[in-house]
Amino acid sequence: MKWETVFKRVLWIMSAILLVLVIGILVTLIVQSMPSIKSLGIKFLWGKIWDPVNNIYGAYPFLIGTILTSFTALIISIPFSYAIAIYLGEYNPKGWLSNLLKNTIELIAAVPSVIYGFWGLSVLVPVIRSFEAKIGVAPYGVGVFTSSLVLAVMIIPYAASLGTSLIRMVPSPLKEGAYALGATRFEVIRSVILPYTRSGLFAGILLSLGRALGETMAVAMLIGNTSAIAHSIKDAFFGPGNTMASVIANEFTEADHTVYLSALIELGLVLFVVTVIINLIGKKIITKYTNN
């Protein structure tokens, strides 16, 4: 009983340290952002011009770029993540092919993002440039769509791994009962497995989205790094852009005065808040699915 009490206290202390760490990060971001907040006010969020030379800062282009890149990557990755999860969790849970695919997925998650950036520049950019020329878009090669494709590959393992584990944990009596009633494997997946694991599968999507929102290096290498706002949907997807994480990485060492540096830190604060809001919304949806 004594060791159980000690173990419980250790867990409580570690949880408290983690909470204090998160609060400390938030407080640090707020304090370091104060010069920018006092100088620019709330208009920083919808300002459309980012011009450090003239001391004009607006986060709107980067906010749109972050959301557009992350959600495009998420939409691209979901079919692949679910397909992998269903195949490894239900159709082929054991064997050499299953182990090979599982190890490949783990390898994809372990590859540094800068490697994805180099691969995108060497392989993907020329292909996208040719595609853009055929559809009548300025053939930049780099841009939101290119970075979204690479980002989609990077986030597939998160939802796929969690989904595979959840599908394998579905109680056998549920599936056996459905088979006994004459259901096919597809019907079992659609009517038993997916409804049973839907909250967990959505949590995997949320995990992937969180990874996509904060990705820096690969996106910075492929997105084109421009603060200009596109004037059409086509230009928004295929043209160059920027995200909050990439502009911080590119310009942080160049910030030569207080407001400029503080504006970059405030971008980090906005990214932190956006991530928290999206996670809270996701938690609400997961809770609703679980209760239903």
Tens-place pLDDT, residues 219-261: 888 988 888 877 778 777 888 888 998 899 888 888 788 888 9
pTM above 0.85?
Answer: yes
**Of 49, 275, 236, 266, residue with least CA distance to 137:** 236
Beta bridge partners of residue 241, listed in sequence order = 224
Tokens 């590959």 map to which residue? 153
Domain extent for 134: 2-291
What is the CATH classification number for the domain harbouring 207? 1.10.3720.10
Q: What is the pLDDT of residue 45?
A: 86
Torsion angle of C-alpha atoms 224, 132, 77, 195, degrees rounded to 10: 130
Cα 35 to Cα 262: distance, rounded to the nearest angstrom? 6
- What residues of the chain score a pLDDT lower than 50? none
Q: Which helix (H) or strand (E) holds 76?
A: helix 60-86
pLDDT > 70: what percent of the chain?
98
Q: What is the pLDDT of residue 4?
A: 76
Asked if 159 contacts 86 with a C-beta cutoff of 8 angstroms, the reply is: no
- Helix pair angle (244-251, 258-291), 10° resolution: 150
Q: What is the pLDDT of residue 79?
A: 93
Question: Which residues are CB-neighbours of 149 under 8 A, at least 6 positions away?
Answer: 73, 76, 120, 124, 128
The separation between the first and the last C-alpha atoms of the chain, rounded to the nearest angstrom, is 38
Report the largest interatomic distance among the alpha carbons of the chain, rounded to a whole angstrom: 72
Q: What is the pLDDT of residue 234?
A: 79
Q: What is the pLDDT of residue 258?
A: 87
> Counting Cβ atoms within 10 Å, is residue 219 exposed (0-12), middle (13-18) or buried (19+)?
buried
* Structural domain count of the chain: 1
Collapsing DSSP to helix, strand or coil, 223 comes out as: coil
Phi and psi at residue 56, to the nearest 5°: -115, 125
Q: What is the pLDDT of residue 274?
A: 86
Q: What is the pLDDT of residue 289?
A: 63
